Amino acid sequence: MDFKQIFAEQLAGAIDHVLEVEEVNKVIEKPRKQNLGDFAFPCFVLAKHWKKAPNIIANELAAKLEHSLFEKVEAVGPYVNMFLHKEAVSKLILSEVLQQRDQYGSNTTGQQAAVTIDLSSPNIAKAFSMGHLRSTVIGNAIANIAEKNGYRPVRINHLGDWGTQFGKLIVAYRKWGNEEAVRQNPISELMKLYLRFHEEAVHDASLEEAGREAFKQLENGDKDNFALWEWFREESLHEFARIYDLLGVQFDSFAGEAFYTDKMDAVVEMLEEKRLLVESDGAKVVLLEKEELPPCLIQKSDGATLYATRDLATAIYRKNEYDFAKSLYVVGSEQSLHFTQLKLVLQKAGFRWAEDMEHVTFGMMLRNGKKMSTRKGHVVLLEEVLTNAIELTQKIIEEKNPSLIEKEKVSHDVGIGAVIFHDLKHFRTNDVEFSMEAMLNFDGETGPYLQYTHARCHSLLRKGEYSPNTEAIELGEEEAWPILSLLKDFDQVVKLAWREYDPSKVARYALDLARSLNQYYAHVHILSDKKNKQARLHLIYATATVLKESLRILGLQAPIEM
């Protein structure tokens, strides 16, 4: 139930709809201190219309407002503060969670419209580093948030699987490659060949030309080159699949750059027909002078196409294929100019749906305050980090709870969850400092802390021999209100996380809920008080349910024992 909406409707009626319900809802605030109520309406917005001081308006409105769910309404200076009736509201909240369970907090805003989400997108034949983690887990969480808001997410892994680098790799493999070595360790061997190519090219200029020629042959459909390229791609995907399995991330499409090679000529022709292309030093560009941006390069002087051409073809294909309501690109902030240009070119070409495209930016993954780099070996491999996190978690479990059943599964879920949550608890545009120690802390703002809190809830439920049912029981005690207040806000957090494409809203909410639960646990005897035991266990079950769903949205598992 949307209690804020109920308050807004009551207010709109009391002010004779000078402001409509939606306008009132937008200005209602949540007081910072609990003793100031659950919602507050600032009366400044009415002062000019009624030509009265805001505090006088607040007093007049407070006297008019009443509802069975309002314990009291009072004027505090220029604000109308509303306090919810704890017993009645607790009954409603617990009843909703018990009935809806993992559907609690969901809404139908999206009406099952498609949302394409471009995420992860590693380059084939290159190592999957920690730098790729951000796009992968942020994009996956946003897809889950979209689904929670009633949309149909389409997860697309736009692989970097085309370009001159593959001509170089083909040349390197033919000169120094070993088939068995590549099959045994694909990414590592292909990376070695690629690096050797560049080392040798310093002393042998003909190699660069050979690489360009090999790629040109590949573009022209040479069977032998295509067979090698396809093999490199397949081996890379097998390697990537293992990492995606560890992360629990799945995709609806692996259509990468190569998929669009036969779709770019049509884009160039379309731009020419619309008279958007102009020549510049032999190249073809779309001018963006009015927007005070550099021109968007569409075709080089030698006829070769570029990223922009490919992404224009990609956008058009996705609209035709999925008829998206939104098309999101979860790509680092360094690509902001590219996506701004892309959107503007589509708009100039008359595609009104380009308004529905959004670049969802994120900051860098840092190590010791510096950007991680794949050059000269300065790279932290994601698979090594994930494996290490699992192993370290297993050691902690062996020390703290050696008799735990399913130790391996719990170690996997907690270790992987630690890495994912460490990223998602930060607002996505902020840089993230890589720290294994910080990730695996069971007491701080971490994934293991949330998972441990969820397991603690289930331990209480087992000890209390709790059986979930839909019987609604009032729980008006003051100590429970911080938890109940957070439970009632879950649907609003889900909506806000979608509006801002911000998984950290869910992560921060989950931390607040876990902290409130642990404070309640420390001060209230949940199992020994027979009179309130069942109502309190309802609260514990509801908290566990919403914690689990919050973790699921973020891409984490929720063990019931740790």
The CATH number assigned to the domain holding 9 equals: 3.30.1360.70
158 and 68 belong to one structural domain = no
Per-residue pLDDT of 494-521, as tens digits, reads 999 999 999 999 999 999 999 999 999 9
* Size (the chain), residues: 562
Contact yes or no for 145/494 (Cβ under 8 A): yes
- Among 62, 84, 106, identify where a domain stops: 84
Average pLDDT in the 188-209 region?
93
323 and 435 belong to one structural domain = no
Q: Which residue type does 423 have?
A: D
270 and 150 belong to one structural domain = yes
Per-residue pLDDT of 87-132, as tens digits, reads 999 999 999 999 999 999 999 999 999 999 999 999 998 888 887 8
Q: Is the pLDDT of residue 211 over 70?
A: yes
Contact yes or no for 357/329 (Cβ under 8 A): yes
Per-residue pLDDT of 323-345, as tens digits, reads 999 999 999 999 999 999 999 99
Percent of the chain exceeding pLDDT 90 equals 81
Cα 348 to Cα 346: distance, rounded to the nearest angstrom: 5
Domain housing 47: 3-84
Note whether residue 17 is domain-resident: yes
Instruction: Give me the chain's average pLDDT, please.
Output: 92
DSSP bridge pairs for 279: 284
Per-residue pLDDT of 447-466, as tens digits, reads 999 999 999 999 999 999 99
Other beta carbons within 10 Å of 363: 15
Contact yes or no for 190/182 (Cβ under 8 A): yes
Q: Is the pLDDT of residue 375 over 50?
A: no
Contact yes or no for 24/6 (Cβ under 8 A): no
63 and 118 belong to one structural domain = no
Other beta carbons within 10 Å of 265: 13
441 and 496 belong to one structural domain = yes
Report the CATH number that the domain containing residue 443 is assigned in CATH: 1.10.730.10
Helix orientation angle between 407-424 and 533-554, rounded to the nearest 10 degrees: 70
Per-residue pLDDT of 240-293, as tens digits, reads 999 999 999 999 999 999 999 999 999 999 999 999 999 988 899 999 999 999
Cα 35 to Cα 488: distance, rounded to the nearest angstrom: 17
- Band (pLDDT 50/70/90 cuts) for residue 376 is very low
132 and 190 belong to one structural domain = yes
Q: Is the pLDDT of residue 4 over 80?
A: yes
Cα 531 to Cα 345: distance, rounded to the nearest angstrom: 68
Report the CATH number that the domain containing residue 293 is assigned in CATH: 3.40.50.620
296 and 203 belong to one structural domain = yes
Q: Is the pLDDT of residue 373 over 60?
A: no
Average pLDDT in the 290-298 region?
95
- Band (pLDDT 50/70/90 cuts) for residue 367 is confident
Note whether residue 407 is domain-resident: no
pTM value?
0.92
Contact yes or no for 385/307 (Cβ under 8 A): no
The DSSP 8-state label assigned to residue 74 in this structure reads E
Note whether residue 386 is domain-resident: no
Note whether residue 96 is domain-resident: no
Q: Is the pLDDT of residue 531 over 60?
A: yes
Predicted confidence at residue 111, as pLDDT, reads 97
What's the number of domains the chain is made of? 3
78 and 124 belong to one structural domain = no
Cα 42 to Cα 346: distance, rounded to the nearest angstrom: 43
Note whether residue 77 is domain-resident: yes
Q: Is the pLDDT of residue 374 over 70?
A: no
Average pLDDT in the 173-196 region?
93
Lowest mean pLDDT among 155-159, 413-417, 527-531, 545-549: 527-531
- Among 39, 67, 84, identify where a domain stops: 84
Cα 409 to Cα 72: distance, rounded to the nearest angstrom: 49
- Band (pLDDT 50/70/90 cuts) for residue 13 is very high
Beta strands in 35-86 (DSSP E): 39-42, 70-76, 79-84
- Band (pLDDT 50/70/90 cuts) for residue 372 is low
Note whether residue 151 is domain-resident: yes
77 and 139 belong to one structural domain = no
Note whether residue 305 is domain-resident: yes
36 and 139 belong to one structural domain = no
Cα 237 to Cα 243: distance, rounded to the nearest angstrom: 10
Average pLDDT in the 64-79 region?
94
Q: Which residue in the block uniquely carries the two structure tokens 């709809």?
A: 17
Predicted confidence at residue 332, as pLDDT, reads 92
From 1, 6, 205, 207, select the one nearest 92 (Cα to Cα). 1
77 and 141 belong to one structural domain = no
Per-residue pLDDT of 463-490, as tens digits, reads 999 988 766 577 878 899 999 999 999 9
Using CA atoms in the order 524, 530, 531, 535, what is the torsion angle rounded to 10 degrees? 60
247 and 341 belong to one structural domain = yes
Predicted confidence at residue 220, as pLDDT, reads 87
Predicted confidence at residue 284, as pLDDT, reads 93
- Among 301, 336, 366, identify where a domain stops: 366
From 239, 436, 430, select the one nearest 332 (Cα to Cα). 430
Predicted confidence at residue 472, as pLDDT, reads 57
Note whether residue 311 is domain-resident: yes
